[in-house]
Amino acid sequence: QGQLQESGPGLVKPSETLSLTCSVSGASVTIPSFFWNWVRQPAGKGPEWIGRVYYTGNTNYNPSLKSRVSISLDSSRNELSLKLTSVTAADTAVYFCVREVAAITSLFDSWGQGTVVTVSS
Amino acid sequence: QTVVTQEPSFSVSPGGTVTITCSLTSASVSNIHYPGWYQQTPGQPPRTLIYTTSVRSSGVSDRFSGSILGNKAALTITGAQADDESTYFCVLYLGSGIYVFGTGTKVTVL
């Protein structure tokens, strides 16, 4: 089964851009079998789906975040990345990268351990 | 903004049965939403239990079952055990590549 590992700064200042990377092993991000998602979870709350990218580069985003978010793939590194601009305290959360089986809607079959991001000056 | 609502909490006795539901504020939930269910314990990522309404993920006990009940998605846990004590989240597909997670239900076994 695939393994995913998130990395990036644990502290981001308000109004700046949050940038995270997810290193993927056990599967190539360039094959059509999977979508690659980002999901976040504020402390004590339910998960929030942020968006996903397909091997073609096609993306889908949460409408509430669409104006601030960008998800992309780096095939040379077998990684996906997340950029979220103009962050506020409301963006403080654990951020997960998640693999979704492309042929089976709603099957998120592999999750990273998550990385904590705090937005604070 | 689409909101997916679950019961905040349930308490169930060991060996008992509990049903958690997942509802949309703006529409009935049906198979077209491909409901999924995830189990999460503190400090861990969610674990896949059910996808596409009722299909159990590999290795998941048959004590967990998914269905549509009326206008909601439902997760039923039968023969509750101590290690079922977790928070359970549903996820719904809204179409056009968009997903939304539920608010979560904390299940206590005592």
The answer on pLDDT for A13 being more than 70 is: yes
Mean pLDDT calculated for residue range A69-85: 97
Distance CA A117, CA B13 (A): 37
**What is the structure's pLDDT at A1?**
61
Sequential DSSP letters for A61-85: E-TTTTTTEEEEEETTTTEEEEEE-
Pairing of strands A18-25, A79-84: antiparallel
User: Which chain B residue has the Cα nearest residue A96?
Assistant: B45
A73-89 b/e with 16+ CB inside 10 Å = b? beeeebbbbbebeebee
The per-residue pLDDT for B25 is 87
Chain A CB contacts of B39 below 8 Å: none
Query: What pLDDT, on a 0 to 100 scale, did the predictor assign at position B6?
Result: 97
Please name the residue of chain B whose CA is at the shortest distance from the CA of residue A5: B45
pLDDT, tens digit, 9 for 90 and up, residues A81-93: 999 999 999 999 9
**CA-to-CA distance for A67 and A55, rounded, in angstroms?**
22
Cross-sheet strand order for the sheet of A18-25: A3-7, A18-25, A79-84, A69-74
Check: CB of residue A37 under 8 Å from CB of residue A108. Answer: yes
CB contact under 8 A, A62 and B98: yes
Percent of chain A residues topping a pLDDT of 70: 98
Classify strands B4-6 and A79-84 as parallel, antiparallel or unpaired. unpaired
Q: What is the pLDDT along chain B (110 residues), one digit of tens a residue?
A: 789 999 999 999 999 999 999 999 889 999 999 999 999 999 999 999 999 999 999 999 999 999 999 999 999 999 999 999 999 999 999 999 999 999 999 999 99
Contact B98 A111 (CB under 8 A): no
